């Protein structure tokens, strides 16, 4: 009898603690859109190989992006993006390290959608700048998805736009992040 109670207690503890502390993906998406308003030419690239980790306990989150992994519809645009703008041979990675400021409001064990504020540092093109944005965290049957949109000023990251294309390339790029995260086992 004692053994059974012990077993029950143990399994109850295990069950309550069974939701993972960390969630991750390696196939997260980051969309880069520098289309100038009014210009018919879409300047848009997507990266589908983004690594993201979220620590449910602390609210810490991290993103790692390989710049060369941005795919543009036009080959020439992709070449210019890599060679002239972000210089991905010199700066192959972009990184975001931050924290969900109101992480205590998110219950990772329960289904729901939460609006969160994310603050952190974005490193791109060798420059690190503070970024703050609103995002959404959705919990659905143990799966966590995270999404956020924010603007970055290209000049903040020392990415210069030649005068010739100044009317086509926006001075600020819209970055959209969307990740479906899985529980990290272990």
Partner 1 sequence: MKKRKKILLILGVLLIVAASVGLYIYKEYNRTHKDTADIKPDHSVIATDLIKDFETDEQGSNKKYWDKVLEIDGTVKDITRDERGFYSVTLGDTASMSSVRCSMDSIHNNEVAALQKGNAATMKGICTGFNADELLGSDVILVRCVVVLKK
Contact positions toward partner 1, by CB under 8 A? 22, 24, 26-27, 29, 48-49, 51, 53, 64, 66-69, 71, 73-76, 78, 89, 92-93, 180, 184
Q: Contact at 8 Å (CB) between 79 and 89?
A: no
Shortest Cβ distance from residue 49 to partner 1 (Å)? 5
Shortest Cβ distance from residue 112 to partner 1 (Å)? 19
Phi-psi region of 38 (alpha: psi -120 to 50; beta: other; left: phi over 0): left
Between the alpha carbon of residue 179 and those of residues 54, 64, 113, 130, 155, the distances in Å are 10, 12, 14, 21, 27
Shortest Cβ distance from residue 82 to partner 1 (Å)? 8
Shortest Cβ distance from residue 118 to partner 1 (Å)? 20
* Identity of the residue, 29 or 174, whose beta carbon is nearer to partner 1 in the bound complex: 29
Shortest Cβ distance from residue 68 to partner 1 (Å)? 4
Shortest Cβ distance from residue 85 to partner 1 (Å)? 16
* Identity of the residue, 46 or 101, whose beta carbon is nearer to partner 1 in the bound complex: 46
* Identity of the residue, 66 or 101, whose beta carbon is nearer to partner 1 in the bound complex: 66
Instruction: Judge residue 23's burial from the number of C-beta atoms within 10 Å of its C-beta, 0-12 exposed, 13-18 middle, 19 or more buried.
Output: buried
Phi and psi torsions of 88, nearest 5°: -65, -15
Q: Where are the beta strands (DSSP E) in the chain?
A: 22-35, 44-55, 60-66, 70-72, 93-100, 112-124, 127-140, 143-153, 169-183
What does the DSSP 8-state code read for residue 3? Answer: H
Enumerate the β-bridge partners of residue 177.
30, 148
Q: Contact at 8 Å (CB) between 62 and 40?
A: no
* Identity of the residue, 57 or 105, whose beta carbon is nearer to partner 1 in the bound complex: 57
* Identity of the residue, 117 or 123, whose beta carbon is nearer to partner 1 in the bound complex: 123
* Identity of the residue, 68 or 97, whose beta carbon is nearer to partner 1 in the bound complex: 68
């Amino acid at each position: 009898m004692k053994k059974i109670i012990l077993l029950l207690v143990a399994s109850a503890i295990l069950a309550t603690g069974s939701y993972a502390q960390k969630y991750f993906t390696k196939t997260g998406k980051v969309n880069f859109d520098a289309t100038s308003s009014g210009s018919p030419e879409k300047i848009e690239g997507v990266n589908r190989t983004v690594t993201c980790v979220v620590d449910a306990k602390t609210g810490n989150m991290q993103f790692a992006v390989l710049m060369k992994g941005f795919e543009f519809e036009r080959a020439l645009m992709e070449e210019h993006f890599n060679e002239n703008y972000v210089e991905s041979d010199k700066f192959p990675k972009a990184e975001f390290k931050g924290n969900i400021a109101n992480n205590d409001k998110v219950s990772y064990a329960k289904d729901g959608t939460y609006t969160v504020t994310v603050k952190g540092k974005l490193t791109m093109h060798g420059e690190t700048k503070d970024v703050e944005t609103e995002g959404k965290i959705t919990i659905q049957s143990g799966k966590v998805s995270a999404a956020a949109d924010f603007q970055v000023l290209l000049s903040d990251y020392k990415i210069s736009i030649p005068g010739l294309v100044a009317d086509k390339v926006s001075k600020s790029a819209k970055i959209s992040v969307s990740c479906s995260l899985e529980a990290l086992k272990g």
